[in-house]
Structure 1
Amino acid sequence: MNKKKIIANIVKVISWIFVLVFFYWAIKNNMLSHIYEEPDKFLRLLKQHVTIVFVSGLAAIFTAIPLGILLTRPKFRKGEWLFVNIANLGQTIPSLAILALAMGFLGIGIKAAIIALYVFSVLPILQNTIAGLDSVDKQTIDAARGMGFTPVQILWKIEMPQASFFIFAGIRTALVINIGTAALAYLIGGGGLGVWVFTGIQLFDNSFLLSGAIPITILAIAIDYLCRGLEYLVVPKGLRLARKTNG
């Protein structure tokens, strides 16, 4: 194990120790009281939060990945800069401004929050899809053509498996960012755990604030590990081993 891996593991262990100590402090000082005092409301807010993230993330996945595949085809390559720059607007415009624009078109509510987070999610998935497909060894593609593979077979049997690591990284990044950003949905009547976060800020009440913030943190960690698990199942074993060796 090289020095970089040792340092990374040490940092990871220290980070988890801080997280566990913080959770212990929060529970001991009754900072999560609203979760078990108002379980029905907590579950309702959690459901709203998950719905916003899941629907917006799923829509971004089903938009960005096909678009990324299309833009890496020779016929549509010239349009890459245009679509990537359009998607880039979702990152350059502040999230609050996107929420305000969505609210202006769709009114107050969860629909506006979903559209805003969808716009915010497209770029990382699109960029990673394009980067992953561009990283596929051209000689491997040429060899597949020489073996009689059709373009569709090359895409699904050669390019997509090799690009899957990059694609999952983009999906994971988008979803984790979305979970935190979804707290802002409260500002346009979208609900979610941001209701308790902003209530805590307004009332200077840490029990409200942490009852919303800690579940958001746990949800982000859970989604990150879920995506890593799916990545482990989907990414070919040879590519995983190669990345570990190179890393």
Structure 2
Amino acid sequence: MNLFADAFAWLADPANWSGAGSIPQRLGEHLWVSAVVLVIAAVIALPVGAWVGHTGRGREPAVMLSGGLRALPTLGVLTLFGTWLGIGLQAPVIALVILAIPPLLAGAYAGFESVDRRTIDAARAMGMRELQIVGKVELPLGLPIVVGGIRSATLQIIATATLAAYIADEGLGRFIFSGLKTRDYAEMLGGSILVILLALVVDGLFALAQRLVVPAGVRATRARELRSGPARSRTAVGQPITEGNQQ
């Protein structure tokens, strides 16, 4: 408990909230790196996932690619690119992009695949072109699942972006590595608490976004289904009564 008290005392110290290397500066760096990685990974993964989900082609390679990239050790990939590219943000960004692609890719093709094929056939029967079907039918209906993939990727990025401090002097991970080097465990734990709080806040925002992107018609249908739920079956209690055979 003393360690946690020391960590909260470190967090409450005004000296850690101003100047170079302060908590606000490291927090801003962490958010910036995470945002850059998310944008790059989304530009790569979301169009591919949407194409796979819309056409139904390439699903097996997409699943294999997602599983293979998930199996890569992030620290090993970071070290590999660090020895090649040197000190700086290039290696962490590449390693984090590789980490973020699988959940984005899986969320995209799962979201598009979740749309009822009968709905798509009806849209085609109405004369809608393929791009119109993607933009006006599949994307709105599958968007909650797509946002779920973005949510998962963002949380992984935020948690793993602490490794950026392993090669570059950036982000909240700097407190963890600095505390480890100097055996300042209050700083280490304080930095970890900041990462956890940041992840929880971002997760809450994405949870709200997932609810908001559900189409109004779908929400209304679900509400009606909940209000008019199936009638409960009645179970007879005790022995059955046979009419006409009572003694």
TM-score by length of 2: 0.79
Identity %: 33
Distance 1:71 1:37, change over 3 A: closer
The equivalent of 2:46 in structure 1 is 65
AA partner of residue 53 (structure 1): S
Distance 1:201 1:145, change over 3 A: same
The equivalent of 2:143 in structure 1 is 164
Matched, 1:193 2:155: no
Distance 1:221 1:44, change over 3 A: same
Whether the 8 Å contact between 2:112 and 2:142 is mirrored in structure 1 is: yes
Q: Once the 2 structures are TM-superposed, how far is the Cα of residue 168 of structure 1 from its aligned partner?
A: 0.7
Whether the 8 Å contact between 1:132 and 1:163 is mirrored in structure 2 is: yes
**C-alpha distance in 2 between matches for 1:238 and 1:51:** 36
The equivalent of 1:6 in structure 2 is none
Matched, 1:93 2:72: yes
**C-alpha distance in 2 between matches for 1:213 and 1:229:** 25
**C-alpha distance in 2 between matches for 1:35 and 1:98:** 37
Bigger helix share: 1
When the two structures are aligned, how many residues end up with a matched partner? Answer: 221
Whether the 8 Å contact between 2:7 and 2:189 is mirrored in structure 1 is: no
**C-alpha distance in 2 between matches for 1:190 and 1:52:** 12
**C-alpha distance in 2 between matches for 1:80 and 1:202:** 45
The equivalent of 1:48 in structure 2 is 29
AA partner of residue 37 (structure 2): S
Per-residue deviation, residues 6-48 of structure 1 (Å, max 9, x unmatched): xxxxxxxxxxxxxxxx9xx648951314564352322222222
Whether the 8 Å contact between 2:7 and 2:187 is mirrored in structure 1 is: no
**C-alpha distance in 2 between matches for 1:35 and 1:103:** 34
Q: Aligned to 2:171, what secondary structure does the other structure show?
A: coil
Matched, 1:178 2:184: no
Q: Once the 2 structures are TM-superposed, how far is the Cα of residue 59 of structure 1 from its aligned partner?
A: 1.1
AA partner of residue 133 (structure 1): F
Q: Once the 2 structures are TM-superposed, how far is the Cα of residue 213 of structure 1 from its aligned partner?
A: 1.4
Per-residue deviation, residues 73-99 of structure 1 (Å, max 9, x unmatched): 43x71x333344234332101110121
Which residue of 104, 107, 116 corresponds with 2:86?
Answer: 107
Where do 5+ consecutive residues of structure 2 fail to align?
Answer: 227-247
**C-alpha distance in 2 between matches for 1:36 and 1:243:** 52
**C-alpha distance in 1 between matches for 2:40 and 2:140:** 22
Where do 5+ consecutive residues of structure 1 fail to align?
Answer: 1-21
Structural RMSD (CA): 2.5
**C-alpha distance in 2 between matches for 1:215 and 1:95:** 21
TM-score by length of 1: 0.79
Which residue of 200, 207, 216 corresponds with 2:195?
Answer: 216
AA partner of residue 214 (structure 1): I
**C-alpha distance in 2 between matches for 1:28 and 1:175:** 26
Q: Aligned to 2:115, what secondary structure does the other structure show?
A: coil
Larger radius of gyration between Structure 1 and Structure 2 = 2
**C-alpha distance in 1 between matches for 2:112 and 2:8:** 50
Q: Once the 2 structures are TM-superposed, how far is the Cα of residue 52 of structure 1 from its aligned partner?
A: 1.4
Matched, 1:116 2:95: yes
**C-alpha distance in 1 between matches for 2:148 and 2:77:** 24
Whether the 8 Å contact between 1:34 and 1:208 is mirrored in structure 2 is: no
Q: Aligned to 1:148, what secondary structure does the other structure show?
A: coil
Per-residue deviation, residues 203-227 of structure 1 (Å, max 9, x unmatched): 3323211331122112111211222
Whether the 8 Å contact between 2:54 and 2:113 is mirrored in structure 1 is: no
